[in-house]
Amino acid sequence: AQTVTQSQPEMSVQEAETVTLSCTYDTSESNYYLFWYKQPPSRQMILVIRQEAYKQQNATENRFSVNFQKAAKSFSLKISDSQLGDTAMYFCAFTAGSYQLTFGKGTKLSVIP
Amino acid sequence: NAGVTQTPKFQVLKTGQSMTLQCAQDMNHNSMYWYRQDPGMGLRLIYYSASEGTTDKGEVPNGYNVSRLNKREFSLRLESAAPSQTSVYFCASSQRDRSNYGYTFGSGTRLTVV
């Protein structure tokens, strides 16, 4: 079974600074997909970024980028130039192409003005 | 706007009561899912439907039943609600062959069982 671990229950960052959220996973699959979802206080789940395991290049979406270390089974999210609207729960998730998306327990990020 | 619609958004039940959570998507997705979210637990899969006419258990199916009414609709039923089922429930959908692109989620239902 696949597992996803987010070791930081809560984090804070000053506005305009950079923060990195950690995620590790465990799988025996060779081809899989990793995601970061954002859940603001509105409760809506929003896909932030997606990474395909067979791609060496780290995914980037505007101020959001990942550091994907396949050998270490690590998938961290970097948020640059943090904004107040980035305050949210962030979930790391994994799928090996099955129907199930496995989530970590989440990291609560607070952006401080 | 296209997406996943869940009803109701909030509900309070007494122990032993039953209710059905409704979910509909208008993106022509084949696969639909029900998750529950509890503090410190992330999201856990209750049931999923890979395609119209099929349903399968996820990680935490006990106490729930589902119905895939048609391609658009996937409902979750609590036959006899228990306080342990107090949670936020999310419905989601994906293309069967494109689940690798992630899911589209509804806005959730906050259920309290007293």
pLDDT digits (tens, 9 = 90+) for A11-57: 999 999 999 999 999 998 888 999 999 999 999 999 999 998 888 88
Integer Cα distance of A61 and A76 in angstroms:
14
Residue B91 confidence (pLDDT): 97
Mutation site for B-interface testing, chosen from A37, A43, A107 by largest number of B Cβ within 10 Å: A43
Q: List the single residue in B43, B94, B100 with the smallest CB-CB distance to A91.
A: B43
B4-61 residue pLDDT tens: 999 999 999 999 999 999 999 999 998 999 999 998 889 999 999 988 989 999 999 9
Q: Give the pair of three-digit tokens for residue B68.
A: 């895939």
Residue B102 confidence (pLDDT): 76
Integer Cα distance of A65 and A63 in angstroms:
7
Residue B106 confidence (pLDDT): 95
State the nearest Cα–Cα gap between A64 and chain B, in angstroms: 17
Angle, vertex CA B58, rays to CA B53 and CA B62, nearest 5: 100
Contact yes or no for B107 and A44 at CB 8 A = yes
Q: Which of B51, B109, B112, B110 is nearest to B84 (CA)?
A: B112
Contact yes or no for B100 and A106 at CB 8 A = no
Contact yes or no for B88 and A101 at CB 8 A = no
Integer Cα distance of B3 and B100 in angstroms:
18
Q: What DSSP assignment string belongs to A4-34? A: EE---SEEEEETTS-EEE--EEE-S-SS-EE
Q: Look at residue A6 and tell me whether its pLDDT is greater than 70.
A: yes
Is the separation of the CB atoms in B103 and B23 below 8 Å? no
Q: What is the mean pLDDT of residues B75-99?
A: 89
A and B: number of Cβ contacts within 8 A: 59
Residues of chain A contacting residue B50, judged by C-beta atoms under 8 Å apart = 99
Find, in chain B, the residue whose alpha carbon is nearest to that of A96.
B100
Q: Give the pair of three-digit tokens for residue B78.
A: 């609590």
Residue B96 confidence (pLDDT): 63
Find, in chain A, the residue whose alpha carbon is nearest to that of B57.
A100
Q: List the single residue in A95, A104, A106 with the smallest CB-CB distance to B100.
A: A95
Residues of chain A contacting residue B103, judged by C-beta atoms under 8 Å apart = 45, 47, 101
A69 Cβ partners below 8 Å, 6+ apart? A75
Contact yes or no for B101 and A50 at CB 8 A = yes
Q: Look at residue B99 and tell me whether its pLDDT is greater than 60.
A: no
Q: Give the pair of three-digit tokens for residue B82.
A: 């228990």
Residue B41 confidence (pLDDT): 87
Please state, rounded to an integer, the average pLDDT across all residues of chain A.
93
Question: How distant, in Å, are the alpha carbons of A50, A60, A61, A113, B43 from that of A65?
Answer: 10, 4, 6, 22, 23
Residue A96 confidence (pLDDT): 85
3-state secondary structure of A83: coil
A109 Cβ partners below 8 Å, 6+ apart? A10, A11, A12, A13, A19, A21, A79, A86, A87, A88, A89, A90
Contact yes or no for B99 and A35 at CB 8 A = no
Q: Which of A55, A56, A76 is nearest to A6 (CA)?
A: A76
Q: List the single residue in B100, B107, B110 with the smallest CB-CB distance to A33.
A: B100
